[in-house]
Structure formats: C-alpha cells, structure tokens
C-alpha cells in the first residue's frame, strides 16, 4: 500500500514538473520573439492575388403580374449599381428568375446556373434581398448554404434585410431559424390560396387558364372568348370522332394537314386528341379540382379520384360544342375501346364513295377520311381529287 502511494506521489511530481517546463517554454517564446515562417494557405494566396471579391446577386419574382414586372427590373438595376459602385467588389453577374416559385428549385434555370458557377469558383459572395427570395424551403436553404461553405473557395450568402453573411460563425443558427419562418409563411400563403379558391368555386366562380386551351383566348379585359379559327379544329375533332374516326386517325389527319397543336407543334398525338374530346370546357362547363396539388413545395399534382371534392360549374364558358354532341362523345368514351359501337359512316351510300370536305376555318377544303373505306375506295377518292 505504501509502495502505491509512493508511486502516485512520484507521478504527481513528474506532472507538475512537466507543467512548469511548458510554462517556462511559453514565457521564453514570447520574451525571445522567436522567428516563425508562416506559409499562407492557397485561399489566402488567391485572395491576396485577386484582392477584389467577385460578387453576384440573385433576384426572383413569383408571378408575371404587371406590378411585379417593375419590381423585377428594379431589383436587377439596383444590384448592378450596388456591385459596380463598391471598389472592393468585382461584378460576377446578376442572376434572375422571373415568374417562378421559391418553394422549389425546379424551373429556376438561372438559380441553378448561379450554383454551378459557385462550384466552378466564379463567385465569392452572393447578394440576395431576403431568405424568401433565395428559397422558401428550409431543407433547400440549409443544404445549399452548407454546400457553398464547404467549397474549396467558400461562397457566402449576404442576406440584405438581416445584414447577415453566412460565412460568419454565428449566422447559421439565426439563418436556419429564419428559413423555417419563411417556409411557414409559404405554407400559410398556400393554405390561404386554397381556402380562397374553395370559396370561389362554391360560389360558381371558375379559374380557367387559356394557355394551350385550343379554341379559347382572352380579350383585353381578361374575358374568355372563342378563337374562331382554333374552334374549327375543335369542331373537326368532335365531328370526325362522331363519324367513326379514332384518336390515332384524327391525329394523323391533323398532322398531315399541318394543323398546329395546342402548344404550337406540328405533330399531333392520340393522347392530345383524347384530352380535347374529354375536356368539358368545350361544351361550356368547367370542373374545378380535377387534379389537386399534393404538396406546396414539390408542386406535385395528382388526379382527383375522389380524395377531394370536385366543383362542376355549368355554362360558364362560351361553348364550341353543343351539349348534345358532348353527351354523345361522352357516352362513346364511357365504353371500353373494343366495345365501342360507331354509327354507320354517312360517306358510303349504295356502294358509292361520297367525299365530304371541311367547309370553313383552317381545315377548309380538307377531306374527312372515313374509316370504313376499303383500299379500293381510297384509290377511287385519290383519282377523284387529282
């Protein structure tokens, strides 16, 4: 027992002696002012050589509304002037996305280009008005911020309305909290829009987008009107279907006639024809919430198979197709394809081929092909039109 105590005492004395020696060494180093050569890091050498920071700015507005058009241009000009007027900064670029949501990175082309330029060491600092202009998704902000900070040449994000640079040590906690708030505001806004839409639909006020809606457009006052030229194409599709042509044949005929598709293309698909034939808007009705948004951040939409209410608003649009013809098409489409019974073609009478042409619109003079024609009938038609 005495031997162990003796060993402990010796060990304790050795430790105390070591500490005294280290203190002496530290005092000596300061008193003697030892010469130490410091080799700068690559980052320090690069910064010393470059001196000026390469600064970029990011701007975003979420809609194409006229009042935001000015805001969008104003942001770009303000950042350009701010960067150029700072003698310690060098203009990298002002990146801007117009008419896109901040809840997702999808479709934000210039935002993605900014991140790529940061990864390729073209940017040192990003200026942005607020966290919500950068992104409203907390996970996106955290992951992007950490990625930029971990680059060989770390890139900072300067949030103007908070006066915070993400490269500062204490900034991450504050910014993460603020991004959570921005996400919450986005969720609250999404819920408010959903509530407002439901109230509108319950009162019979539809929301109809005419982009890519063949046959319709809007006048100078925002009222939905019929585009007579495009309406002829819609009528042709419905009439051809009721006369016995299927989706594929109608698409083929429209493509051959070089009729533009709803998106402006020249190749028609059977699915495009089918969607037009199934669209209740052409008889003047609108069904709201046929698809619905599952999540406000991914913007994923899902077909409504009864999970949500649907709102049918009757006779709220000028009809292109009569209710009677719409019902006929709907009845035919309700049967499985192989069980559909088409009426006898009116183009064949007493074994003689009758040629029927479209009388007006962009399809004027175009021959309506009868699916009941045989190969000899087609040859006769070709001879007669030569």
Copy the structure tokens of residue 114: 């900014």
Q: Three-state DSSP class for 257?
A: coil
For residue 222, what pLDDT is reported?
Answer: 84
**How far is 348 from 344, CA to CA, in rounded Å?**
9
Residue 18 CB partners (closer than 8 Å, separation 6+) = none
More confident residue, 132 or 220: 220
Above 90 in pLDDT, residue 139? Answer: no
How would residue 349 be classed by pLDDT, with cut points 50, 70 and 90?
Answer: very low
With contact defined as beta carbons under 8 Å apart, do 305 and 278 qualify? no
Helices and strands in the chain: count of H runs, count of E runs? 12, 13
**How far is 95 from 115, CA to CA, in rounded Å?**
10
Q: Which of 127, 31, 41 is nearest to 84 (CA)?
A: 127
With contact defined as beta carbons under 8 Å apart, do 216 and 317 qualify? yes
**How far is 248 from 149, CA to CA, in rounded Å?**
54
List pLDDT tens digits, range 53-110. 999 999 887 654 444 455 678 888 889 999 999 999 999 999 988 866 645 666 788 9
DSSP letters of 30-69? Answer: HHHT--------HHHHHHHHH-SEEEEEEEEES---HHHH
**How far is 50 from 90, CA to CA, in rounded Å?**
10
How would residue 363 be classed by pLDDT, with cut points 50, 70 and 90?
Answer: low
CATH number belonging to domain 216-351: 3.90.1750.20
Identify each DSSP E strand in the chain by its residue range: 53-61, 89-98, 125-128, 156-159, 164-165, 216-218, 224-226, 286-288, 291-293, 301-303, 311-313, 348-349, 352-353
Q: What is the mean pLDDT of the chain?
A: 78
For residue 344, what pLDDT is reported?
Answer: 45
Q: Which of 313, 262, 324, 309 is nearest to 284 (CA)?
A: 313
How would residue 348 be classed by pLDDT, with cut points 50, 70 and 90?
Answer: very low
**How far is 294 from 308, CA to CA, in rounded Å?**
11
For residue 100, what pLDDT is reported?
Answer: 66
Please report which helix (H) or strand (E) contains residue 139, including its range: helix 138-149
With contact defined as beta carbons under 8 Å apart, do 157 and 115 qualify? no
For residue 351, what pLDDT is reported?
Answer: 43
Q: Which of 5-14, 113-122, 131-140, 355-364 has the highest mean pLDDT?
A: 113-122
Kindly give the interhelix angle for 138-149 and 109-119, rounded to the nearest 10 degrees. Answer: 30
Mean pLDDT lowest among 78-92, 306-320, 353-367:
353-367
Q: Which of 124, 134, 125 is nearest to 183 (CA)?
A: 134
For residue 10, what pLDDT is reported?
Answer: 64
Span 24-52, mean pLDDT? 68
How would residue 356 be classed by pLDDT, with cut points 50, 70 and 90?
Answer: low
**How far is 386 from 384, CA to CA, in rounded Å?**
6
How would residue 345 be classed by pLDDT, with cut points 50, 70 and 90?
Answer: very low
For the chain, the structural domain boundaries read 47-180, 216-351, 353-385
Domains 47-180 and 216-351 share a fold: no
Report the DSSP beta bridge partners of residue 28. Answer: none
How would residue 141 be classed by pLDDT, with cut points 50, 70 and 90?
Answer: confident
CATH number belonging to domain 47-180: 3.40.50.1390
List pLDDT tens digits, range 142-181. 788 889 988 988 999 998 887 888 887 656 666 666 666 6
How would residue 269 be classed by pLDDT, with cut points 50, 70 and 90?
Answer: very high
Judged by phi (left if over 0) then psi (alpha if -120 to 50, else beta), residue 299 lies in: left
Q: Three-state DSSP class for 122?
A: coil
How would residue 18 be classed by pLDDT, with cut points 50, 70 and 90?
Answer: confident
**How far is 154 from 145, CA to CA, in rounded Å?**
10
For residue 359, what pLDDT is reported?
Answer: 58
Above 80 in pLDDT, residue 223? Answer: yes
CA dihedral defined by 258, 260, 264, 269, rounded to 10 degrees?
-90
Q: Which residue is listed with tokens 């299927």?
A: 246
For residue 9, what pLDDT is reported?
Answer: 66
Name the CA radius of gyration of the chain, rounded: 35
- Residue 43, CB-side half-sphere exposure with 13 Å CA sphere: 9
For residue 238, what pLDDT is reported?
Answer: 94
How would residue 43 be classed by pLDDT, with cut points 50, 70 and 90?
Answer: low
Model pTM?
A: 0.47
How would residue 276 be classed by pLDDT, with cut points 50, 70 and 90?
Answer: very high
**How far is 128 from 60, CA to CA, in rounded Å?**
9
More confident residue, 386 or 114: 114
Span 211-229, mean pLDDT? 91
With contact defined as beta carbons under 8 Å apart, do 64 and 131 qualify? no
With contact defined as beta carbons under 8 Å apart, do 160 and 128 qualify? yes
**How far is 137 from 109, CA to CA, in rounded Å?**
17
């Amino acid at each position: 027992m005495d031997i162990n105590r003796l060993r402990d005492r010796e060990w304790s004395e050795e430790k105390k002696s070591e500490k005294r020696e280290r203190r002496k060494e530290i005092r000596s180093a300061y008193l003697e002012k030892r010469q130490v050569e410091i080799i700068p890091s690559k980052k320090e050498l690069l910064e010393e050589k470059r001196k000026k920071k390469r600064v970029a700015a990011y701007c975003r507005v979420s809609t194409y509304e006229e009042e935001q058009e000015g805001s969008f241009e104003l942001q770009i000009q303000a950042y350009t002037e701010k960067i150029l007027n700072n003698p310690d900064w060098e203009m990298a670029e002002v990146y801007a996305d117009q008419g896109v949501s901040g809840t997702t990175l999808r479709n934000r082309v210039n935002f993605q280009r900014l991140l790529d330029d940061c990864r390729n060491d073209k940017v040192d600092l990003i200026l942005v008005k607020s966290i919500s202009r950068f992104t409203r998704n907390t996970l996106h902000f955290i992951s992007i911020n950490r990625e930029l900070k971990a680059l060989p040449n770390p890139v900072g994000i300067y949030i103007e309305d908070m006066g915070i640079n993400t490269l500062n040590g204490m900034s991450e906690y504050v910014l993460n909290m603020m991004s959570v708030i921005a996400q919450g505001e986005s969720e609250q806004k999404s819920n408010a829009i959903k509530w407002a839409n439901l109230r509108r639909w319950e009162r019979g006020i539809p929301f109809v987008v005419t982009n890519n809606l063949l046959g319709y457009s809007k006048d100078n006052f925002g009222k939905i009107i019929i585009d007579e030229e495009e309406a002829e194409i819609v009528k042709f599709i419905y009439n051809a279907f009721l006369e016995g042509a299927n989706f594929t044949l109608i698409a083929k005929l429209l493509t051959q006639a070089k009729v533009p598709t709803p998106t402006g293309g020249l190749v028609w698909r059977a699915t495009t024809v089918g969607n037009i034939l199934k669209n209740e808007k052409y008889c003047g009705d609108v069904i709201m919430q046929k698809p619905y948004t599952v999540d406000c951040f991914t913007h994923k939409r899902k077909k409504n198979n009864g999970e949500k209410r649907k709102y049918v608003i009757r006779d709220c649009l000028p009809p292109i197709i009569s209710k009677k013809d719409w019902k006929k098409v709907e009845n035919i489409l309700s049967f499985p394809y192989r069980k559909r019974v088409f009426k006898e073609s009116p183009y064949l009478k007493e074994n003689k081929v009758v040629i029927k042409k479209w009388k007006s619109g962009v399809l004027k003079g175009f021959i309506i092909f009868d699916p009941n024609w045989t190969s000899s009938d087609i040859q006769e038609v070709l001879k007669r039109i030569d």
